[in-house]
Amino acid sequence: MSNILIIKHGSLGDIAQACGAIQDISISHKDDQVHLLTTKPYFDLFKKNPHISNVILDKRLSRLNLIYLYSLMKSIKKYNFSKVYDLQNSSRTAFYKKILFPKATKEIWSSTETTLPMGTSKEDFDKDSVLSRFDHQLKSSGINTNHTMSPDFSWSSSDISQIKNYYQLEKYILLFPFCSPHLTSKKWPYYNDLISIIAEKLDNKFKVVTAPGPDEIKDASNINALCILDNGKALDISQLSSLIKDSSFVIANDTGPAHMTAHLGAKGIALFGSHTTPFKVSIERENFKSIQSPELSKLSAEKVFEKLSEIIS
């Protein structure tokens, strides 16, 4: 039995996208111990993943923090990993490779760099969709990719029956009108207009709710929707996963919850501006679609409701 390492630091949307790749790696190494290196926000979450034997914490402190770097590399080396799958493919993980396996080929260290198609630059390769890039990386490393292109994030869910009972949630439409402060170009401005249309056109058949993150609770007061919290605190990722999975429909900006929805099999729409494309981030699924507008400020609430009506029935 060998030890296998997968590296996936985040973000939340990236975690949901990588589930299929992680499952395929685990299946291909069914007789081995599969470990995963991740960051604090996802450490407890990944402990629930049935395809992982052990989770290792990377605090991602500065690379100039030599004491921490030495400690992390020492803790990784003790497992004597026979193969590493770098699903983060960042400058940081490339740095780790230089320390741990400086001369490793794809047989030892699987990454975008070691599996780059012949004659293709990394810049051109990165124009392909996220899941297609995972698919190529793993196939080039000898992995059968039966799940990579169809991630299943349902393992992340937990029991939220008490929360649903408290808010009397049965049929509900879930909105995610938030985004990171430095990514305001992703924020669609007409959620309240949409809420009014939903109430009028759907005869109040659905409760309209939102589930803000820890830093979004104050902003949620500006949205005319029921704010779902757990004893005054934001839902954790597992609770949020269940809330999404049990919803009638989700409407979200291009953020982590949108990617969770896509890979939980829930119905919904993601709203895109010009910052990227739905294709590149592999977000469209059978039940989850997207609307893209060069300027989100010009995407009307009526247009979004029209798309909602097509899918929700």
pLDDT tens for each residue of 223-248: 999 999 999 999 999 999 999 999 99
Report residue 180's pLDDT band, with 50, 70 and 90 as the boundaries: confident
pTM (2 decimals)?
0.93
- CA-CA-CA-CA torsion sign (231, 161, 224, 261): positive
**Overall CATH class of domain 162-312:** alpha beta
The answer to whether the beta carbons of residues 228 and 209 sit under 8 Å apart is yes
Specify the range with the lowest mean pLDDT, choosing from 48-57, 179-188, 240-249.
179-188
Position 114 scores a pLDDT of: 95
pLDDT in tens, 128-177: 999 999 999 999 999 999 999 999 999 999 999 999 999 999 999 999 99
Decide if pLDDT at 302 tops 90: yes
Position 256 scores a pLDDT of: 94
Residue limits of CATH 3.40.50.2000 in the chain: 3-154, 162-312
What value does the mean pLDDT of the chain take? 95
CATH 3.40.50.2000 fits 3-154, yes or no: yes
